[in-house]
Chains A and B, each alone.
Chain A
Amino acid sequence: MSHKRTIFNLFKALVTVGLGSLALVQLGCTNFNDVPPVTTLENPSRSRTIGDYPVAGKVLAVQVCAACHGVNGYSNSPIIPNLAGQQKDYLVNQLQDYRDRSRSNKNGVLFMWGMARNLSDAQILELANYFSSLPAKQVNTEYVNDSRLARGKAIFEKGIPEAGVIQCNSCHGANGKGMATFPQIAGQHPDYILQQLKVWMHPDEKEFMEVGGNTWAPRTITFARPRGALMINNVKNLSQQDADAVAIYLSTLQ
């Protein structure tokens, strides 16, 4: 095959892709978002739609969120938080922060920015109601004999005064159940807790990355949780060893 012929074929391919895409647009794909909110082809009681029309929060909870967080609010993956029994105000805040992209811990950026981007205030409230009303996870028995538990318990109850680490229970409650905007941390996955502590322990950590959705340009994301900024002073002097101990202890707390 000649060089000219190759160029011609490339050109042909290019034109075909271009025209094909435009044809699809003209054929009505542009109007997908103008489909009336509920047509006979829509299924509002079992929909996984986010943004096309207002699906009830409870439906989204079981059809979309539950894929990772579990129908009962218990997640199977250690990097995904349990939401059962979480504080309602806290959940509202987090979903809003994912929606406006102010909470930028890494997995939040990768997974939650997209999920939250088209949620309405009403849906956020309904989702928070759903997960906060579920019974909290039963105590984690995997770490009952872990030698680090005592250290974790000490930090949770007494802090590390010499390092300026305040005891966790002063804000998160005696049993780690949290209150209002202070999250429940009892019964949480240690991996998830450690990821969050890391955001505050290393507040300058950033990564050059792409997110999802229509945000093409890769950019540097500084991992942050502004609403939890008061955690920075509390944990900046926490050693990784102590962070591990606290995370494991919290998972056993009920």
Chain B
Amino acid sequence: MPPLMSAKTIFLFLFGLLTILTSMNEVQALPLFSRQTGQNCVACHAGGQYPELTPYGRYFKLTGYTIGTRQDIPVSVQFVGGAATSTNGNNGTGQVHQSGKLEPNYLFLDVGGKIFDNFGAFSQWYYAFDEQISGGGKIPNQNQFAADVQDWRYADHYVGDSADTLSDVIWGASLNNYAGVTDVWNSSPMWMYPYMGSTRNSSTYGLPYNTRLSAYSIHNPGYGAYVYLNQNFYAEADLYQSGGPGAFSWMTYPASNNNPNSAPVYLQGLNPYFRFAYQSDEHRGHNWMLGVLGANINQYASCSSLSLASCGAINSPALSAGTVQYQDRAVDGQYQYLVEPHAVTAQARFTTESISDPNKLMYSNPTNSTNSFMSKVSYVYNATYGAAVAFQNITGTADAHYGTNTVTGANLNPNSTAWIPSIWYQIFQNARITYQYTAFTKYNGGTINYNGSGTNASANNASWLYLWLAM
């Protein structure tokens, strides 16, 4: 990357976007859902901190994105770009581009919204500029469009007499592509802080290892149903299957057996995900949620990772080699206080995971386990000035999967601890500047020289100053 991925290029790019958008028959410069309801973003997003949902935002999603007026042009775009740096120019995962240059990160295309009375969609696609988020030379979806979150939802809402025991029933079904993407609480795996990370430095996303049921982790087509009783008791179950090829392969586009940059995740049969939650009524601006969730995932290894002869195309599944079985169980909770100009929100999730890999496809031990704790608290004033801090911690058994000490040869463990503070200024509801810092106090089980090569946990620290725009 030359030094000039620059203000000029970004400007040209944004100018192009504006040209496209303003050439449409009416000014379409606010995100899709806002145009559909005519409401300001803070109606659905707590203190304007996307993607955190207010009680009304949860209702909007659970009723299938169907409130409001259908849009003639159900499209909006988002842009994320900024400058990422790490403390020593190398965060230990072999990543490059961390010199603090201004660089574009993501372009998102959102389509959907209200389609029929009972049917709507949140369909997001993305383009990652020079994505470097996974180490080891694998660069997924670099410089091409890819399916981001998909949630195509049918929903209905029965309202009975308030004297009835069951006076309010929301139920629905979703076709989606990430376990947990359907969830409406921000303590859930897909929707927890940090809400944005740089393509140039994975540390901006937090912990180096996470449980199988975590953000952007189970990227497979899935379908399920949910019910929400009296807007208190929530239950959902989904089944996830292999991404492709097949009728649902668009949901994991462009992953394919032949795409060396983007491997489909092959699952054995149908893999269950479940979620139960109790949401309190709102009282004087306070509301809280307590829930449990989990997933059982049986996953094949890919041919390339096993170096098997005559297994098929580079990323086809090694079907005869057996599966790795993940069992994740989590308890989570959320608290919100929303009385303008104040918005205080907090989330936490504890996940315990057991990993069984009897054939040692991805791990050196036949069984492993991890425990992870993720949390965040934030405050936003007048939906304009915000600050947040996250604490993330994971512990687990040592395994070659997590690397080995270059001196002793001992397997490393995943034990890592990260703090992620951030501050932001929301210039308008569709433009925000954020400074986010990730500080590791432990990485791969150690603070000083955790890998034998003299790398300290803090060498993985990262800062990221970025601009987010939506139109």
Taking beta carbons and an 8 Å cutoff, which residues of A are in contact with B? 1-3, 6-7, 9-10, 13-14, 16-18, 20-21, 24-25, 29-30, 32-33, 35, 39, 41-44, 46-52, 62-64, 66-68, 71-72, 76-79, 106-107, 109-111, 113-115, 117-118, 142, 191, 210-216, 218
* Min C-beta distance of A49 to chain B, whole Å: 6
Tell whether, in the assembled complex, residue B37 and residue A212 are in contact, meaning their CB atoms are under 8 Å apart: yes
Least Cβ–Cβ distance between B373 and chain A, in angstroms: 30
Q: Which residue of chain B has its CB nearest to the CB of A52? A: B70
Known: A32-B71, A110-B43, A114-B39. A16 touches B145 (CB 8 A): yes
Q: With A and B bound together, what is the CA distance between A136 and B359 in angstroms?
A: 67
Which one of A44, A49, A115, A216 lies within 8 Å of B30 (CB-CB)?
Answer: A216
- Closest chain A residue to B37, Cβ basis: A114
Q: B1 interface residue, CB < 8 Å from A?
A: yes
Q: In whole angstroms, how far apart are the Cα atoms of A114 and B69 in the complex?
A: 10
User: Would A76 and B13 be within 8 Å (CB), given that A43-B117, A212-B37, A216-B27 are in contact?
Assistant: no
Partner of B20 from A17, A48, A52, A215 at Cβ < 8 Å: A17
Q: Which residue of B lies closest to A44 (CB)?
A: B117
Whether B42 contacts A77 by the Cβ 8 Å rule is no
- Judge whether A110 and B42 touch: CB under 8 Å: yes
Q: For the complex, give the distance between the alpha carbons of A63 and B1 in Å.
A: 52
B165 to chain A minimum Cβ distance, whole angstroms, is 14
The answer to whether B34 and A77 touch across the interface, beta carbons within 8 angstroms, is: no
Please pick, from A14, A46, A49, A115, the residue contacting B17 in the complex, using a CB distance under 8 A.
A14
- In the complex, the chain A residue whose C-beta lies closest to that of B30 is A216
The reply to whether A33 and B29 contact each other, CB–CB distance below 8 Å, is no
Partner of A17, one of B104, B109, B287, B429: B109
Determine how close the nearest CB of chain A comes to the CB of B293; give it in whole angstroms.
24
> What are 24 A-to-B residue pairs whose CB atoms are below 8 Å?
A1-B130, A6-B2, A9-B143, A13-B13, A17-B17, A17-B107, A21-B73, A24-B75, A30-B72, A32-B71, A33-B72, A41-B118, A46-B117, A46-B156, A50-B67, A51-B68, A51-B69, A76-B283, A77-B338, A110-B43, A118-B38, A142-B284, A211-B40, A214-B27
Q: Is the beta-carbon distance between A191 and B168 smaller than 8 angstroms?
A: no
CB-defined interface of B1-44 with A at 8 Å, one 1/0 digit per residue? 11011000100110011001000101111100011011111110
Q: How far is the CA of A111 from the CA of B282 in the complex (A)?
A: 18
In the complex, which residues of chain B have a beta carbon less than 8 angstroms from the beta carbon of A44?
A: 117
Contact A212 B43 (CB under 8 A): yes
A213 engages B34 (CB within 8 Å):
yes
Q: Say whether A77 contacts B285, CB under 8 Å.
A: yes
User: What's the Cα separation between A64 and B157 when bound, in Å?
Assistant: 10
Contacts of B64-83 to chain A: CB distance below 8 A? 66-75, 77
The complex places the Cα of A163 from the Cα of B116 at a distance, in Å, of 56
Q: Which of A10, A25, A39, A210 is in CB contact (< 8 Å) with B73? A: A25
CB pair B74–A17 under 8 Å, yes or no, is no
State how many angstroms separate the Cβ of B95 from the closest Cβ of chain A: 15
- For residue B301, CB closer than 8 A to chain A, the reply is no
Given A1-B1, A77-B55, A71:B159 Cβ within 8 A: yes
Residues of B within 8 A of A117 (CB): 38
Q: Does B216 belong to the interface (CB within 8 Å)?
A: no
Provide the bound-state CA to CA distance between A136 and B37, in Å. 28
User: Contacts A46-B158, A110-B43 given; 4 further ones with Cβ under 8 A?
Assistant: A3-B4, A24-B74, A33-B69, A212-B43
Residues in chain B near residue A32, CB distance under 8 A: 70-72, 74, 115
Contact B38 A113 (CB under 8 A): yes
> In the complex, are the beta carbons of B29 and A216 less than 8 A apart?
yes
Inter-subunit contact A24/B115 (CB<8 Å): no
Q: Are A41 and B116 in contact (CB under 8 A)?
A: yes
Residue B111 CB within 8 A of the other chain: yes
Instruction: Return A162 CB to nearest CB of chain B, in Å.
Output: 33
Provide the bound-state CA to CA distance between A184 and B238, in Å.
47
Closest B-chain residue to A32, C-beta based? B70
Q: How far is the CA of A41 from the CA of B109 in the complex (A)?
A: 26
A63 contacts B16, CB within 8 Å?
Answer: no
Contacting residues, chain B, for A71 (C-beta < 8 A) = 159, 162, 167-168
Residues of A within 8 A of B56 (CB): 67-68
CA A24 to CA B70, docked complex, whole Å? 14
B340 A214 Cβ-Cβ under 8 A: no
- B28 partner residues in chain A, CB cutoff 8 A: 214
| In the bound complex, CA of A141 to CA of B134 (Å) | 57
Which of A9, A42, A191 is packed against the most chain B CB atoms within 10 Å? Answer: A9
Residue of A at shortest CB range from B16?
Answer: A14
Whole-angstrom CA separation of A194 from B363 in the bound complex: 61
Expressed in whole angstroms, the minimum distance between the Cβ of A108 and any Cβ of chain B is 11
Alpha-carbon separation in the docked complex, A251 to B462 (Å):
50
List, in ascending order, chain A residues with CB within 8 A of B30's CB. Answer: 210, 212-214, 216
Q: Let me know if A78 and B285 touch, CB within 8 A.
A: yes
CB contacts (< 8 Å) of A35 on chain B: these are 70, 116
Any chain A CB within 8 A of the CB of B339? yes
CB distance from B254 to the nearest CB of A (A): 13
CA distance A181 to B114 in the complex (A): 35
Which residues does chain A contribute within 8 Å of B156, judged by CB atoms? 43, 46
Q: B443 in the interface, Cβ–Cβ < 8 Å?
A: no
A142–B283 Cα distance when bound, in Å, is 12
Question: Which residue from chain B places its CB closest to the CB of A4 in the assembled complex?
Answer: B2
Docked CA distance A157–B34 (Å): 43
Q: Report the Cα distance A5→B92, complex, angstroms.
A: 28
Q: A38 vs B222: C-alpha distance in the bound complex, in angstroms?
A: 31
List, in ascending order, chain B residues with CB within 8 A of A25's CB: 24, 72-73
- Contacting residue for B55 out of A48, A76, A115, CB 8 A: A76
Known: A1-B1, A6-B1. A41 touches B119 (CB 8 A): yes
B234 nearest CB across to chain A (Å)? 16
Choose among B13, B40, B69 the residue that contacts A10 (Cβ–Cβ < 8 A). B13
Partner of A21, one of B12, B20, B158: B20
Q: How far is the CB of B393 from chain A (nearest CB, A)?
A: 34
Residues of B contacting A47 with CB < 8 Å?
Answer: 66, 117
CB A40 to nearest CB in B, in angstroms, measures: 10
Contact residues in A for B38 (Cβ distance below 8 Å):
113-115, 117-118, 212-213
Q: Does B240 contact A (CB under 8 A)?
A: no
